[in-house]
A = this chain, B = another copy of it.
Amino acid sequence: MVCLSTMARNTDMRWRLPLVCLLWEVAMIVLFGIFVRFNPEADVAGWEEEKQQKNISDIQNEFYFRYPSFQDVHVMIFVGFGFLMTFLQRYGFGAVGFNFLLAAFGIQWALLMQGWLHTFEHGKILIGVESLINADFCVGSVCIAFGAILGKVSPVQLLIMTLFQVTLFSVNEYILLDLLHVKDAGGSMTIHTFGAYFGLTVTAILYRPNLEQTKDKQESVYHSDLFAMIGTLFLWMYWPSFNSAISNHGDAQHRAAINTYCSLAACVLTSVAFSSLLQKKGRLSMVHIQNATLAGGVAVGTSAEMMLTPYGALIVGFICGIVTTIGYVYFTPFLDAKLHIQDTCGIHNLHGMPGLIGGIVGAVTAAAATEGVYGKKGLINMFGFTGEYQDRTPSIQGGFQAAGIAVSLAMAFVGGAIVGGILKLPFFGDPTDENCFEDNVYWEVPGDEESNLYCMHDSNAKPGINP
C-alpha cells in the first residue's frame, strides 16, 4: 500500500498530461486561426495569379522542388529519432511514443514561432512546404535534447521542454540567419550544436546521483538493438535529404546531397575501425554503429551546400567517425563521473562535438570561397551577398559563421539552465531513480501484472518473487 501510494503521487499522469495536451492544442487552434494561412503556392487563387505573373507551369510549384525531401526529413524525425532511442531494453514505448508526442506538438509551435520570425506578412503567417521542413528541423533539435534525458523525465516535462526549446531555437535561428546572415542549411549550428548543448545543460541540472542502481535497464537486449538500427539506417540514408532540403533550387540541393552522401560513407568506416580498436577482443559495439556512423551527416550540415567537394566531405566524415566513437568510449563516462552530466544516448558524441566541427567546417569553407570556384554570380547567390550584405567578402562571412557557433552555444547554455530549472519543479511527475528507463511508469505494458508492477521498482525484486 505504501509503495503504491508513493508511486501514484509521483508519476500518475491522469490529470496533468491531458490538461497540458488539451489546453496547448486549443491554444494552437486559436493561434493558427488568427495567424496561419496558406502561402500563394498552396492557395487556389494565389497560385493561379503567380503562374500568370511569372509565366511558369505547375511543375515549378515549390511543392515539386521540396516535397520528396520533406518526406525524408519527416521520416528522420519520427522513425529515425524515435527508433534510434529504442535501444533500451524497457523503454521502447517511451522512446518512440514520447518522441512522437513531443514532435507532433513541437511542429505546430514551430510553425508559429518560425512563422512570426520569418514569414510574417500583413499580420499573417503564410506557410508552404518549406515551412513544414523548417518545423521538422526545429523539432529535430528537441529530439536531440530528448536523447540526453531519455528515460528520466515525464511526458509533461518533455512537453514543457519542447515549448521552451522550440521558442529558443527559433530566436537563435533568427539571430543566425537574419541578423548575422549566416548560412546553415543542414543545421550543424542551429539544430545540432544548439540542441545538444541545450539538452546536456538540462540533464546536468536534472542530475540524479543514484542512477547507478538502474544500470541493467540502461543496457540493451538483442532485439532492442535491432529496433535501434531501423532508426540509425533511416537517419543515415535520408541525411542527404536533410542537408539539401532547404538549399537553393538546382545545383545547391544537388551538391548538398552528394557531399552528405560522401561524408556519411567515410564516417561508417572510421566508426567501425575505432569501435573495434577500443573494445576488448576487437568486437564491435552496437552503440558505436548505431550512432557514430551518423556523425558525418551532422558535421557537413553547414557546408554541404557549399563547394565542399566530395573529398572534403570524406575528410570531415573520416574525422567525425573517430571523434564520436572515442566520445562514447571515453567522454561519456567522464562527463557522467566528473561533470555530473548523464547523457543517456550520448548526444554529446553524436550531435555536440560533430555539430561544433560542422560549424567550424562551414566557417572555413565559407571563408575559403573564391570567385574562381563559384563564379561571380554564384558567390553572390550562394551566400546572399546582396542588398545590405553586398559588401561582405567570403572571409568576413567566415567570421560571421564562427560567431554563429558562439551564439548557438550561449543560447544553449543559458536556455538549458533556465529550462532545466523549470523542469526541476516538483509537480511534473518525473519518475523516482528506481523507475527510470522503465516503460511501465507511464505506459500500460503487456504482461505486467498490477501486483508486481508497483513494488518491483521500489524493492528491486523480480516479478513473481515478491512475497
Contact = CB atoms under 8 A, between A and B. Distances in A.
A29 B318 contact: yes
A411 interface: no
A238 B79 contact: no
A379 B45 CA distance: 9
Contacts of A128: 254, 258
A264 to B, nearest CB: 7
Contact of A237 (B14, B22, B26, B78): B78
A17 to B, nearest CB: 5
A21 to B, nearest CB: 4
Instruction: Give the interface centre of A24, A307, A373 by most chain B CB atoms within 10 Å.
Output: A307
B283 A382 contact: no
A54 to B, nearest CB: 11
A262 B269 CA distance: 38
A330 interface: no
A194 interface: no
Contact of A45 (B8, B93, B240, B378): B378
A237 B273 contact: no
The 9 closest A-B pairs by CB, nearest first: A14-B282, A104-B268, A44-B378, A47-B251, A21-B273, A45-B375, A32-B311, A58-B250, A13-B282
16 contacts: A22-B273, A25-B266, A37-B310, A38-B309, A47-B251, A58-B65, A59-B64, A71-B241, A89-B446, A93-B284, A101-B269, A104-B265, A104-B267, A105-B265, A127-B310, A285-B443
A44 B251 contact: yes
A12 B65 contact: no
Interface stretch (A140-148, A215-223, A342-350, A353-361): A215-223
Interface string A439-450: 011111111000
Nearest to A266: B25
A319 B6 CA distance: 35
A174 to B, nearest CB: 22
Given A59-B65, A309-B38, A378 B284 contact: no
Interface of A is mostly: helix
Contacts of A227: 223, 226
Interface in A106-139: 107-108, 111, 127-129, 132
A379 B48 CA distance: 11
A41 B255 CA distance: 8
A75 to B, nearest CB: 6
A250 B61 contact: yes
Nearest to A288: B444
A465 B107 CA distance: 53
Interface stretch (A202-210, A228-236, A415-423): A228-236
Contacts of A399: none
Given A92-B226, A111-B310, 11 more contacts: A18-B274, A21-B273, A21-B276, A29-B318, A38-B307, A41-B251, A46-B251, A97-B289, A105-B265, A108-B265, A127-B310
A198 interface: no
Interface of A: 8, 12-19, 21-22, 24-26, 28-29, 32-33, 36-38, 41-48, 51, 57-65, 67-69, 71-72, 74-75, 78-79, 82-83, 86, 89, 92-93, 96-97, 100-101, 104-105, 107-108, 111, 127-129, 132, 155, 219-223, 225-227, 229-230, 233-234, 236-238, 240-241, 249-255, 257-258, 261-262, 264-270, 272-274, 276-277, 279, 281-286, 289, 293, 307, 309-311, 314-315, 318, 373-375, 377-379, 381-382, 440-447
A405 B100 CA distance: 32
A290 B233 CA distance: 20
Nearest to A21: B273
A443 B233 CA distance: 18
A104 B233 contact: no
Contacts of A274: 18
A233 B83 CA distance: 10
Nearest to A37: B309
